[in-house]
Structure 1
Amino acid sequence: MLSDALKKTIRHIHQQVADNLGDYKPRKGQNYLVAEIAKTLSGEYHKTQRICVMEAGTGTGKSLAYCLGALPYTFSKNKKLVISTATVALQEQLIEKELPFFAKHSGLDFKFDLVKGRNRYICSQKLAMALETSPEQLEFIPLSTAPLSDMEKKCLEQLQTAYQKNQWAGDRDSWADTIPDAVWNLIASDKHSCQRQLSGHQHCPFHQSRNRLNQMDVLVVNHSLLLADLDLGGGTILPEPDNCVYVIDEAHHLPQITRDFSSASGTIKGTIEWLEKLLKFNQKLANAISSQRAIGLNFKLADAINDANSLLKKVRDFLSETPFEFNDDNVYRFKDGELPSVLSALSKDLNDASLLILKHLRKMHDALTQDLSDGDVKAHVAEPILSETGVYLQRVENFNKLWFNLTHSSQSTPHARWIKQLEYKNNHDHLLADCPIEVGFYLKDKLWNECAGAVLCSATLTALGNFDHFSYESGLAGEDGVKYLKVPSPFDYPSQGVIHIPKMDSEPTDKDFTANLIRCLPDFIKKNEGNLILFSSYWQMGEVAKGLRAKGFSLLIQGEASRESLLSLHKSKVDGGNGSILMGTQGLSEGLDLPGNYLTNLIITKLPFAVPTSPVEEAQAEYVQKRGGNAFLSITVPDASKKLVQSCGRLLRKERDSGRIVILDRRLISKRYGKAMLDSLPPFKRQIDY
């Protein structure tokens, strides 16, 4: 129950923050969110299930709302607040703007930090060795794709100098220029070789950053790092889940990111090749270990590698000899996720063999690590070998994940499974892949059942006016005590903008729709204003761009330059009074902030229906239909509705913005599902031409 003292504290903090916000206006929706978050976390609605899901429209001030609603309660219970986001932009906004302001003016004494994955930091030992010329210290480099170019070597030298002079903290994001992947892969920290117990690594940037975590009260992470911690059982990277209150911002991304995190894939011939290299490396690793710990381990490792390679060759032969009907993308999907009996049996054996490789390689790695720690092996000998061992361990872990996933029946937890035929050294190889269709059970078991409380928020969590689709995908459907909140934007939509659905000669399903777009778009473009035209496919955008350029239009097109360059040029053109026409696909329909005159004319060419061509989407549709459902209505339409709301959300970013949205897809009024999609959009003034 929310105590009177805590209510008073929240009100006091709110007033202090409001007094220091220059353009602060009391917002009924924001106040409601603050109260409901605090009530939910304090157990007013459910003693154990302290979770609220809130959709807060643009301009609601949700970050301030969850700080006000969650922080006082969290600190009163001596818990940590973990804020997880999907994008770097929001992380930067929280770390550089929102949290510093709140810490300064709330009166609460708390520390906060951004928690990044290990691979965003250098290993100082790797950096020191990367420019060594001694051949025995560079034996791990052949695992990289190619030798460094002169430009990449120069970058490496600059990084080394800056780090030695304390002019760079050693994380990838704080370096002013882009660090090429080839350079970064040589010097990035990894969990196998960059270990805290080794004296030479105790001051590596990653371990220094982790040392600070215990002193922090608020941790900002991304969804992938949160999932990585949960996958390790929770409490390995971040504090224990039962000691944390989580704010999952940009929560609409969480199910998809969880699905990606849980998937696995691997090539067959490519894996055979690197396993053969591991077989040769095995002896070098054994020779470097001075202690008696490794006696016999290298023989066991060699046996396990040989067993795995023998099994993989059987998989290779089976895939090569079986007449699969590949589609135009060279993909064959296994119906209902069920593998052929031969492949299913080989998967079980490969799961066992890969586990043995992992077990023996880890033991040998640990033995060399201990030798180095005891001083029995010199650092210049052990470090390069440990780096190479770390690369192999990562590969074996991914190798095992694939075959472990493939051994599990797809009946209880449905999986999409497929093979893709690839070109490989003037021949064919096969990529074998596995991806779970549903991940709600995973989030439920690992997060919702374990955490002290959670707030999930986004501007777009509902689809077709309800939370059903999101709650099912995220594992919250049917859970008692979950509080759902929908708070509209404070914008005065009818007076700030209009949605115009004009007459069209054809619908997007007609073959001449693209030609029709080229003909009609000039009528809707405002040359002297900020325009954004959104497409559902790169192909169609390209065809329309060619047609419009032939008519003399100057266009800024997604993919022809970096996002930052395009937006910078777009803004400079608008600032110069010349107007600008920006064209993009789904990548520009979310997270794009073009306030004021930078966007006053938004044109959506087509409803953003996903074509179920990917193996995962096909498997989802198959699974729904098998259970008697309609995949189009239960998956495709809700997803498209959510994306359409996100697209329309680009127009108004601030309370003084105004403009119009033109939607060139008549299915909004010609199809039965269109009305529900139209009703889900913000309440702009409507102009529908008949």
Structure 2
Amino acid sequence: MLNNSLKKDIRTCYENLREQLDNFIPRKAQNYLVAELAKTLAGEYHAKRRIMVAEAGTGIGKSMAYLLGSIPFALNSNKKVVISTATVALQEQLISKDLPLFRRISPREFSFILAKGRQRYCCAEKLASVCGDQTGIQQALFDQKPKHNDVLLAKDLYRALSEGKWDGDRDSWPKTIPDTVWRVIASDKHTCHNGLAAHRSCPFAKARENLDKADVIVANHSLLMADLELGGGVILPEPEQAIFMIDEAHHLPIVARDFSAASASLLGVASWLEKLNQAGSKIANTADIKRSNRFLDALQTGIQELIPGLRQIREQLSELPLNDDGTFRFKDGELPESLELQAKEMHKAAKKTQQSQAKIHDLIAERVKDGELSARLAEPALAESAFFLQRLENLEKVWNLMAQPNSDKGAPLARWIKRCDEKERDLIVHVSPLEIGWRLDQMLWSKAAGVGLFSATMRALNQFGYFCRQVGLEENDGSRFLALPSPFDYQNQARLVVPKVPYEPQHDKFTDTLPALLTEYLEGETASLVLFSSYWQMNKVAEALKKTAVKNKWDLLVQGEASRTSLLDTHRKNCEKGKVSILFGTGSFSEGLDLPGDQLTNLIITKIPFAVPTSPVEEAHSEYIESRGGNPFLQISVPEASKKLIQSAGRLLRQENDSGRIIVLDRRIVTRRYGKSLLDSLPPFKRIIEY
């Protein structure tokens, strides 16, 4: 139950917010969201299932709502708040704007921090080794002899870190640090940890200390999944001690699925295994050969089993008929019996090799810890060992997944191979789950002290069911579901126009008709955004419209011709001057694009954003649904298109005084049976449908 102290804190925050903001507008939907989130976290709806799923339309102010609902509750119950986002833009908004504002209005003091993964920080010891013993570390880490400029950069980084002018965060260095350099000096879990005294002052260790002290932590979905995959509580707070506010939650299923997938080449792996075989004795000597000898023997035995096994599998798989993309997918995820047996052998050998290398690595670390070996002498061996150990862990994961039998319950794993490129003979083995909901439930939903999932596009076809299936929730499992409409007056602020066009998008002549159609609907408009289904189509139409643009003095800004930031800056400047400005973009411009007021009054959607299931994972998922008597188009493609169409339409109205029109050039939205459900899932714009 909500206690009086918590109610008072939330009320005080809200009253202070009203005083802080000059143009504060009370919003019923925002207030309702705050109250319902607080009740959910307090267990008023379900004592154990303290989970809320909320679709909050544009203009509600969902970020401030979940801060109001979660932070006072966490401070009152001695819990941490973890805010997870999908985009850097939202992270920056939270860190630089929303949280500083909330700290001013909160009656209780709290601290907040931006969390980054270990790989964003350098390891001070590795960096010192690069600069102090270039030859030794070069042999250990660099794939090839480093360039002179790379060595100079490493010395600049070391100097800045030593003098306190750089915090070791890759993103805070004023210039781009090349991958070739960063790979060598980046922190990794095997060498850069508190167990080694020399690493306790490394940048990641310092960042981790600050993270442990913070009350509110802003992360991204990738870091959240990385921590959960490690068991939770390794980088971020333990799920049982944290309240998770997951914003832009519609991205979570894909991020979670990708984190559970794995891939590795065949000949490429055999190549670095040979290098490990050669380096093994040197690394084991650093660990003390008497103690490490049996692990070295097991390591070399495992390598001798893996290398010929991988090459044999490569010869066997090379006979499979690859498609035009150089891919072969195993139907229903089922491997041929001979390959299934080989996968089990590869997993067994990979596990033995990985465990042996880990033992040797631990022995080196123990010698450093016990004072038998100086950190400076051990560092090259530890760095080299960690490099191979991380690769072995991935190899073990790949062949573990490949060797797993398909379960009678749930979807099978997607398994496929892909040619590296036309010149190489190597193949990459890929494995991915199709459905990840059960893992999210196991790792997060069933453990967390509380969860809020938020997005402006959570539902598909006005239902939460599709999202629930993706993330492992059920609408009757005790979780709280809310769909809060935007405060915008859609009927009076915007028109949705479906013109009469000669062809539907699947017709060969559709693209050829677009230049003339667009010219008609761009005429007389100052600020337009045109969304295309593909780069090919966008570029072809842009080329056809260039003469018209010059003649009419339009500034045509095409995605890909400059950076996104540069294009948007130019567009905004054009709008300020009253110059006609037209943005051409693909799917990535349909989300996260904020063009309020007169920066966008004319939005044209050329095609319903159906995703063609071309990736092996999507093809396998469609195959699985068909095998169960379902319809992949209606169960996957239409719901996904609904969400993307809502996101696209959401670019037009960003503030309560915005206005304009949306033109959909895809007649299928009124001619096909599924079209009505797509149309009805959009906000209630004033509709103009031409017949």
Compute the TM-score of the two structures, normalised by the length of structure 1: 0.96
What residue is the counterpart of 2:621 in the other structure?
620
Note if contact 1:507-1:666 (Cα within 8 Å) is conserved in structure 2: yes
1:218 equivalent among 216, 220, 237: 216
Distance apart, 1:572 and its partner CA: 2.1
- 1:535-684 paired onto structure 2 within 5 Å: 535-553=532-550, 554-684=555-685
After superposition, the Cα gap between the structure-2 partners of 1:14 and 1:552, relative to the gap in structure 1 and judged at 3 Å, is: closer
Note if contact 1:291-1:367 (Cα within 8 Å) is conserved in structure 2: no
Structure 1, gaps ≥5 residues long: none
Amino acid at match of 1:277: K
1:358 maps to 2:359: no
SS at structure 2 position matched to 1:520: helix
Per-residue CA distance 1:204-258 (angstroms, 9 max, x = gap): 1100011122211111111111111211222222222111111111100011100
- 1:503-518 paired onto structure 2 within 5 Å: 503-518=500-515
After superposition, the Cα gap between the structure-2 partners of 1:565 and 1:158, relative to the gap in structure 1 and judged at 3 Å, is: farther
Note if contact 1:527-1:578 (Cα within 8 Å) is conserved in structure 2: no
What CA distance in whole angstroms lies between the structure 2 residues aligned with 1:148 and 1:494? 63
Amino acid at match of 2:664: I
Note if contact 1:301-1:357 (Cα within 8 Å) is conserved in structure 2: yes
2:226 equivalent among 228, 247, 250: 228
Note if contact 1:127-1:187 (Cα within 8 Å) is conserved in structure 2: yes
1:283 maps to 2:281: yes
After superposing the two structures, state which structure 1 stretch, 18-27 or 248-257, moved more: 18-27
Compute the TM-score of the two structures, normalised by the length of structure 2: 0.96
What residue is the counterpart of 1:256 in the other structure?
254
What residue is the counterpart of 2:464 in the other structure?
467
Note if contact 2:12-2:107 (Cα within 8 Å) is conserved in structure 1: no
- 1:104-123 paired onto structure 2 within 5 Å: 104-123=104-123
SS at structure 2 position matched to 1:533: strand
What CA distance in whole angstroms lies between the structure 1 residues aligned with 2:293 and 2:326? 46
SS at structure 1 position matched to 2:488: coil
What CA distance in whole angstroms lies between the structure 2 residues aligned with 1:136 and 1:240? 39
What CA distance in whole angstroms lies between the structure 1 residues aligned with 2:588 and 2:640? 15
Distance apart, 1:148 and its partner CA: 4.5
1:373 maps to 2:361: no
SS at structure 2 position matched to 1:428: coil
Distance apart, 1:519 and its partner CA: 2.4
What CA distance in whole angstroms lies between the structure 1 residues aligned with 2:55 and 2:327? 38
Distance apart, 1:359 and its partner CA: 0.5
SS at structure 1 position matched to 2:328: strand
After superposition, the Cα gap between the structure-2 partners of 1:133 and 1:79, relative to the gap in structure 1 and judged at 3 Å, is: closer
SS at structure 2 position matched to 1:327: coil
Give the fraction of aligned pairs with identical amino acids, expressed as a percent. Answer: 49
Note if contact 1:290-1:376 (Cα within 8 Å) is conserved in structure 2: no
1:405 equivalent among 401, 417, 424: 401
Per-residue CA distance 1:156-208 (angstroms, 9 max, x = gap): 34333322221221101222332222222222111112122222211111000
Distance apart, 1:511 and its partner CA: 0.7
SS at structure 1 position matched to 2:618: helix
Distance apart, 1:579 and its partner CA: 2.2
- 1:260-271 paired onto structure 2 within 5 Å: 260-271=258-269
1:523 maps to 2:520: yes
After superposing the two structures, state which structure 1 stretch, 556-565 or 274-283, moved more: 556-565
Note if contact 1:336-1:619 (Cα within 8 Å) is conserved in structure 2: yes
Amino acid at match of 2:404: H
SS at structure 2 position matched to 1:686: strand
1:306 maps to 2:304: yes
Aligned residues: 685
What CA distance in whole angstroms lies between the structure 2 residues aligned with 1:181 and 1:651? 39
Per-residue CA distance 1:405-463 (angstroms, 9 max, x = gap): 11222333422111112337x44111111111100100111111111111000110000
What CA distance in whole angstroms lies between the structure 1 residues aligned with 2:17 and 2:481? 26
Structure 2, gaps ≥5 residues long: none
What residue is the counterpart of 1:316 in the other structure?
314
What CA distance in whole angstroms lies between the structure 2 residues aligned with 1:652 and 1:83? 26
Per-residue CA distance 1:55-94 (angstroms, 9 max, x = gap): 0011111111111112222222211111111111111111
SS at structure 2 position matched to 1:602: strand
What residue is the counterpart of 1:71 in the other structure?
71
What residue is the counterpart of 2:181 in the other structure?
183
Distance apart, 1:597 and its partner CA: 1.9
Per-residue CA distance 1:574-616 (angstroms, 9 max, x = gap): 2232222211111111111112222221111101000111111
After superposition, the Cα gap between the structure-2 partners of 1:496 and 1:151, relative to the gap in structure 1 and judged at 3 Å, is: farther
What CA distance in whole angstroms lies between the structure 2 residues aligned with 1:527 and 1:129? 64
After superposing the two structures, state which structure 1 stretch, 297-306 or 12-21, moved more: 12-21
Per-residue CA distance 1:540-564 (angstroms, 9 max, x = gap): 1121122112444542222222211
Note if contact 2:531-2:589 (Cα within 8 Å) is conserved in structure 1: yes
SS at structure 2 position matched to 1:346: helix
After superposing the two structures, state which structure 1 stretch, 574-583 or 263-272, moved more: 574-583
After superposition, the Cα gap between the structure-2 partners of 1:134 and 1:51, relative to the gap in structure 1 and judged at 3 Å, is: closer
What CA distance in whole angstroms lies between the structure 1 residues aligned with 2:39 and 2:92? 29
Name segments (4+ residues, structure 1) moved above 6 Å: none
- 1:6-17 paired onto structure 2 within 5 Å: 6-17=6-17
Amino acid at match of 2:616: P
2:388 equivalent among 386, 392, 416: 392
Per-residue CA distance 1:376-423 (angstroms, 9 max, x = gap): 223333212211111111111111111111122233342211111233
Note if contact 1:103-1:109 (Cα within 8 Å) is conserved in structure 2: yes
After superposing the two structures, state which structure 1 stretch, 430-439 or 181-190, moved more: 181-190
Amino acid at match of 1:400: E
Note if contact 1:533-1:583 (Cα within 8 Å) is conserved in structure 2: yes
After superposition, the Cα gap between the structure-2 partners of 1:157 and 1:595, relative to the gap in structure 1 and judged at 3 Å, is: farther
What CA distance in whole angstroms lies between the structure 1 residues aligned with 2:556 and 2:355? 56
SS at structure 1 position matched to 2:139: coil
What residue is the counterpart of 2:324 in the other structure?
328
What residue is the counterpart of 1:416 in the other structure?
414
What CA distance in whole angstroms lies between the structure 1 residues aligned with 2:476 and 2:311? 47
After superposition, the Cα gap between the structure-2 partners of 1:173 and 1:527, relative to the gap in structure 1 and judged at 3 Å, is: farther
Distance apart, 1:658 and its partner CA: 1.7
Q: CA RMSD in A?
A: 1.7
Note if contact 2:123-2:185 (Cα within 8 Å) is conserved in structure 1: yes
After superposing the two structures, state which structure 1 stretch, 500-509 or 165-174, moved more: 165-174
